Amino acid sequence: MINGYYSATGGMVTQFNRLNVISNNLANVNTAGYKQDDIIIGDYERIFSEKRDNLPLENNTKEAAKFVNRALNKVPIIVEEYTKFDIGNLQKTGNPLDLALKQKNAFFSIKTPDGEKLTRAGNFSLDSNGFLVTKDGFQVLDDKNKPIVLNPSYPVTINQNGNIYQNNTLIATLKIIKIDNLNTLKKIGNSLFDFVPGSEIIDSKNSVLQGFLEKSNVNPIEEMTNLIETNRLVEAYQKVMTTFMDDLNRNAIEKLANIRG
């Protein structure tokens, strides 16, 4: 009987984790370039059957695996957490330092204290020294891997190939990196991505839109629906746990107490 309690607990923990993902998506609905996270929920039995042949102890582990508690095999758990890279809506701002990318596998290259990172958030500005920087103050890199410095006194023109002009002079070319396999990217915070060295292609042709911003690709209506669904599942699991702990256990104890030798 207590196994049912464990199953309900596992299910509720999974929904708590899903709730965290949904809440973070909703919190970033208005974050430029944000990419929605999602999860896949599976059951322990299927995951175990897929992975047991790779367990480290060739014989003993497989033999011991026969005695895995079958009552826990259907507990729902998070199989995978992933990021959706669909392009968000492009909003026209008219700001010459707002940039959007037209291909979903293209990213701006950013210099951070932890090395080169990627971002889709193109809401750039100039710092006090004239460096082109992100909202968080990270410097934007050119195709020579150098920070881009602009003169705030002159207008800025950026064409679709990432070439930056001031006073009819080519100042720099944005370093646009394209990733063939987006599943290799690792999300850092809400707007940065880490990539596997060697997996990138430097290609800025026909990529950039000046005066536009890519909005978050989160669908707020869909996520609110998911939020309501998850809350209801948590409540349902809570009721199941209460039934096991309060009603069924009390009933079992009372019956045992009434047994006469």
Tell me: the pLDDT tens digits for 181-232? Answer: 999 999 999 999 999 999 999 999 999 999 999 999 999 999 999 999 999 9
**Identity at 120, one-letter amino acid code:** R
First to last CA, the chain: 24
Positive or negative, the CA dihedral 221, 223, 225, 231 is: negative
In this prediction, residues 51-80 reach a mean pLDDT of 59
Tell me which residue has tokens 């990318």: 101
pTM of the model as a whole: 0.79
Q: Which two tokens stand for residue 249?
A: 């256990």
| pLDDT score recorded for residue 53 | 59
Question: Domain locations in the chain?
Answer: 2-85+219-257, 90-214
83 vs 234: which has the higher pLDDT? 83
Compute the distance between CA of residue 5 and CA of residue 243 in angstroms, rounded to an integer.
9
pLDDT category at 20 given cuts 50, 70, 90 is very high
pLDDT confidence of 78, banded at 50, 70, 90?
A: confident
Beta carbons of 32 and 68 less than 8 angstroms apart? no
User: If phi over 0 gives left and psi between -120 and 50 gives alpha, with beta otherwise, what is residue 50?
Assistant: alpha
- Mean pLDDT computed over 142-155: 96
Q: Is the pLDDT of residue 48 over 80?
A: no
Q: Which two tokens stand for residue 106?
A: 């293209």
Element (H, E) at 40: strand 37-43
Q: What is the pLDDT of residue 9?
A: 77
pLDDT recorded at residue 42: 73
Cα 98 from Cα 33, distance rounded (Å): 11
Q: How confident is the model at residue 67 (pLDDT cuts 50, 70, 90)?
A: very low
pLDDT at 8: 77
Residue 22 has pLDDT above 70, yes or no: yes
**With contact defined as beta carbons under 8 Å apart, do 199 and 179 qualify?**
yes
Q: What percent of the chain has pLDDT over 70?
A: 79
Length of the chain: 261
